[in-house]
Amino acid sequence: MAAIGDVARLAGVSKATASRALSGGGHVAADTRRRVEAAASEIGYIASPAAASLVTGRTKNVGVVIPIVNRWFFGEVLEGIERALLSAGYDLTLYNVGEHGPARDRVFEFFLARKRVDAVIAIGVDLAEHEAARLAQSGKPLVCLGGRGAVDARLAIDDHAVGTLATEHLLGLGHTRIAHLAGLDAVAEPGSVPGERLRGYLDALASAGLAPGEGHVVEADTTMPAGCTGALQLLGRPGPRPTALFAASDEMAIGAMIAAERLGIAVPGELSVIGVDGHEYAEMFGLTTVEQAPGEQGRLAVDAVLRLLGEGEVADPLPDSGAPLPTRLVVRSSTTAPPRG
């Protein structure tokens, strides 16, 4: 393996100068720099990250903590982060943490606690107090995308507003029997993403002088099969059927559309359906949705991390601090006015 000494010798300079020419900020004569660069590329020299980080204390590596890879939203965020990090010359080290337990503890107590990453991005993870504390004490910048826990830098959409917006769209079309397919633990955990969307839905309903019908709020996993099962249950029960359904995610909404079809309920004729996300499959199903931009969110998280690390022009770590990430209503063919009669 070629080391910097080899480059220096070939270029006829000292290791210090070679280092400065290749990476350091120190001034080097233009001609010297050229000679060093030529020498480096001639022998295919690439600096050892370990050696460099041992002295600089920087690793040019960011840890990304994610609860699940294989869900559209998370996959998009991850791709956005990867792209942004790579183009900034940073590596991405992936930690897929699930439920609390020894495996998750190990990530926070060992993997993330070492000097292997300069910063951490946590996506949609509810940080326990001791986890947030661990990270804080390590002194590494932490940027959260959604999720909960006491941290400095968090980017998030306004989930309450999302619930309100979706519900108001249905109210505006004239619906009064509006059901909600909520995410898991929406009722039990008020501050969570599903909880906030549920609250937005309830508040919008209340503002219109309405309340959900009996059994018209059902919780399910935010997947297509779970959405299908949940909708089957919700739409199949006796009593007045809802004319509209707000699902907490597009995958659930699509599952609900399929459930409606199986029950012979026409969408949107007999049932309007709206989701949340802007899933890549939404268009195929003509699904009306409150769209968010996960890939872009990932990029913004990287921007924030890079700023906290002092890369580029050091500005406000979170330029629009406090302002929620953008979402927008995209109306397609799955929502319309309720059936007459």
Q: Which residues bind its own copies (CB under 8 A)?
A: 1, 46-51, 53-54, 59, 61, 68-70, 72, 75-76, 78-79, 82-83, 86-87, 91-96, 103, 106-107, 110-111, 113-116, 223-225, 228, 255, 258, 261, 280-281, 283-284
**Looking at the chain, how many residues does it have?**
341
- Among its own copies, DNA, none, partner that 70 touches (CB below 5 to 8 angstroms by kind): its own copies
**Residue (121 or 205) nearer to its own copies, CB:** 121
- Among its own copies, DNA, none, partner that 111 touches (CB below 5 to 8 angstroms by kind): its own copies
**DSSP H or E stretch at residue 199:** helix 193-207
Provide the minimum distance between the beta carbon of 134 and DNA in the complex, in angstroms, as a whole number.
Answer: 17
- Among its own copies, DNA, none, partner that 113 touches (CB below 5 to 8 angstroms by kind): its own copies
DSSP states of 78-112 as a string?
Answer: HHHHHHHHHHTT-EEEEEE--SSSHHHHHIIIIIT
Rounded Cα distance between 7 and 18, Å, is 7
Residues 270 and 339 sit within 8 Å (Cβ to Cβ): yes
319: Cβ contacts below 8 Å, ≥ 6 apart: none
At 19, list the tokens.
Answer: 């280092």
Provide the minimum distance between the beta carbon of 224 and its own copies in the complex, in angstroms, as a whole number.
Answer: 6
| Positions that interact with DNA (CB under 7 A) | 1-5, 12-17, 19-20, 22-29, 31-33, 45, 47-48, 51-52, 54-56
At 273, list the tokens.
Answer: 């359906």
Residues 270 and 297 sit within 8 Å (Cβ to Cβ): no
Strand partners, 143: 121, 153
Provide the minimum distance between the beta carbon of 189 and its own copies in the complex, in angstroms, as a whole number.
Answer: 25
**Residue (85 or 290) nearer to its own copies, CB:** 85
Provide the minimum distance between the beta carbon of 61 and its own copies in the complex, in angstroms, as a whole number.
Answer: 8
- Among its own copies, DNA, none, partner that 313 touches (CB below 5 to 8 angstroms by kind): none
Handedness of CA 167, 168, 173, 178 (dihedral sign): positive
Provide the minimum distance between the beta carbon of 100 and its own copies in the complex, in angstroms, as a whole number.
Answer: 16
